[in-house]
Amino acid sequence: DAGITQSPRHKVTETGTPVTLRCHQTENHRYMYWYRQDPGHGLRLIHYSYGVKDTDKGEVSDGYSVSRSKTEDFLLTLESATSSQTSVYFCAINRRGQGRTEAFFGQGTRLTVV
Amino acid sequence: SQQGEEDPQALSIQEGENATMNCSYKTSINNLQWYRQNSGRGLVHLILIRSNEREKHSGRLRVTLDTSKKSSSLLITASRAADTASYFCATDAGSGGSNYKLTFGKGTLLTVNP
């Protein structure tokens, strides 16, 4: 599992409340990613990070913010959760060494916004 | 919009048969990767094929890449019930440096019946 831990694994929250999801890695990789997975849409990139304090937007970044103050932690925040953000969220790292390589995923966080 | 699109969306076969899934993409790529996802789990990398390669094998997996048609196929030979999962293609089209991210398709759900 490449030492990736997502927390929490399940969360139910109310519309309008802030929510933070955490991704923790133990292998000091530079690249980290947040995806959401929805039926009929596959995986869509929300935000990614290429180093401490270096982040960029993905294709579905509206309503989400991220922070990376330490190499090992990548936080995804929903400032004011909406029902459309009900989804399964996956964190991933890339073991990019001498060349581009594959991504390794966490087990996912199932978020329900009611 | 998403880079990769898998076809078919769902495939049901009998154990022992071969399963073929296709992926089409839109822009030039550095490499194309296939991932597998068991229900409720994170994605697991299966195989990577670089843009200058045409075919690659790994165990019962065979991947082809046709950059002129912007398409790839994944063949699983002698399928087993344990191969039942969703399969996703992902493309790396980044220009290097900080711009390294994978774009996933919507996936093919493969069901292998005993």
Q: What is the pLDDT of residues A4-61, one digit of tens each?
A: 999 999 999 999 999 999 999 998 888 899 999 998 888 999 999 989 999 999 999 9
Q: Look at residue A113 and tell me whether its pLDDT is greater than 70.
A: yes
Contact at CB, A43 and B98, closer than 8 angstroms: no
Decide if B91 touches A, using CB distance below 8 A: no
- The neighbouring-strand residues paired with B61 are B58, B76
Nearest CA in chain A to B97: A50
Closest chain A residue to B2, measured at CA: A44
Q: Distance (Å, rounded) from C-alpha B74 to C-alpha B52?
A: 17
SS3 string, chain A, reads CCCEEEECCEEEECCCCCEEEEEEECCCCCEEEEEEEECCCEEEEEEEEEECCEEEECCCCCCEEEEEEECCEEEEEECCCCHHHCEEEEEEEECCCCCCCCEEECCCEEEEEC
Predicted local confidence at residue A99, as pLDDT: 55
Q: Which of residues 9-68 of B touch A (CB under 8 A)?
A: 30-31, 33, 35, 40-45, 48
Q: Pick the more confident residue, A102 or A6.
A: A6
Distance CA A102, CA B25 (A): 18
- Asked whether the beta carbons of residue A104 and residue B45 sit closer than 8 angstroms, the reply is yes
- A-interface mutation test, from B101, B106, B109, most A Cβ less than 10 A away: B101
What are the tens digits of pLDDT across the range B67-111?
999 999 999 999 999 999 999 999 987 665 556 778 898 999 999
Contact B101 A40 (CB under 8 A): no
Least confident range from A41-50, A90-99, B55-64: namely A90-99
Does residue B8 belong to the interface with chain A, where contact is any CB pair within 8 Å? no
Residue A66 CB neighbours (<10 A): 23
> Are B43 and A90 within 8 A, CB to CB?
yes
User: Is B98 in Cβ contact with A42 (below 8 Å)?
Assistant: no
User: Amino acid identity of A35?
Assistant: Y
Interface test with A, best of B9, B86, B89, B102 (most A CBs within 10 A): B102
Q: What is the 3-state secondary structure (H, E, C) of chain B?
A: CCCCEEECCEEEEECCCCEEEEEECCCCCCEEEEEEECCCCCEEEEEEEECCCCEEEECCEEEEEECCCCEEEEEECCCCHHHCEEEEEEEECCCECCECCEEECCCEEEEEEC
